[in-house]
Structure 1
């Protein structure tokens, strides 16, 4: 989700645009023979590969229950991809350029999450990512942005809750980052992002859409961690949309429920 509020370009190898590679001819002109030896080599390689596979299978041990379960084609449980709730990093970000970029990327993800639509969660996020003496200002600004009218515009109820029978989607995925200014305790980072926002479900009037934007954050080293001092956002750069077929509302809702979002980048 962007606070101000596909990516594959098609290309083919067939047809008239196909590129043909011509290998150098052997000295004395092209050679047409050697097919029988090539076939023999392929046969030998095939036998070796099968032998290695058989040995690996024999050495696996166990009762085979895991492979039997996998062979059944069962889909993974939702718990296998859901967020664990455990933060992979407990000691903050490193006091260097890479640490600042990591902080900026993760703060962009947090500020674009669905938690921002809940007042209690939003305040907790801001307290975690903003420099202490700016938290109150950020909270006041965000309270003015996340209004009942805005919630309704993205498909939610006016209080920010999700209508029954729907799945609300608000995610920001950092694509890349760069440092534009840096001193010992101040660093400005730009984070290029892709965002998803909308309501997945049958008859949704606000279907999930994708946007591209760049977030700029000025970070300050405070309390042994990088914290946001200022935040701004601009549109793009956006790639040419590909020819991917849009998923159905049910497919989108299922993906959001089964694939947990990331907490830490880099």
Structure 2
């Protein structure tokens, strides 16, 4: 499916941007401009790197050559090239996927907590959330990402997505480079349904407002639930002895994940 067609599908669903990540291919600037003129959202260039053990690099104008077969070395090469670097669908590689992400935790910006295509194929995507908590408990700063991995006929759109916070001075027509910069900072949440309307941390008090959630949980060291409330509003005094905490909004089996807060930020 041409990106002009898939882009309009996502625009009609209310998306503001999408990334095109063909395998080991970044389309030339003329093609990007053509797509951008045809669709009602921002298109971000990128690629899915590697013949296996895939790594996304988002926000690049050319494929970054990676000579090493080492996952960690490839991740470092890709990050040094300047893109937003995401470890892909670790559950697809049961003998090494989680180890890949753990070993590269100091290098990757993030990894896929949820991949819609893989969930449709029966993979245990929630195992990625357990892996995330293990990595965060070790003190690594790694962002959680949700994607569709839209492959035309193989999946319907709208299963996994991210919502990015924009700077106050951003122009009305948001440049894709600004979106990538915010992704690198972790200024976004990932979701399969619910959304965070507001997250405020001030004087040690966390206030959260969500949309379409039945429950809000605070998850901390070791993946433990340290606080939870029913509904769409939460207020909680942050516990200073935690390595990290993150917020999870639940609606049945659907989830929204904030990015983690670390002790150096909230104490």
TM-score category of the 2 structures, normalised to the smaller one: under 0.3
| Higher percent of residues as helix | 1
| Higher percent of residues as strand | 2
Bigger radius of gyration: 1
Task: Please give the TM-score of this superposition, normalised by the length of structure 2.
Answer: 0.24
Higher relative contact order (CA 8 A, sep 6+): 1
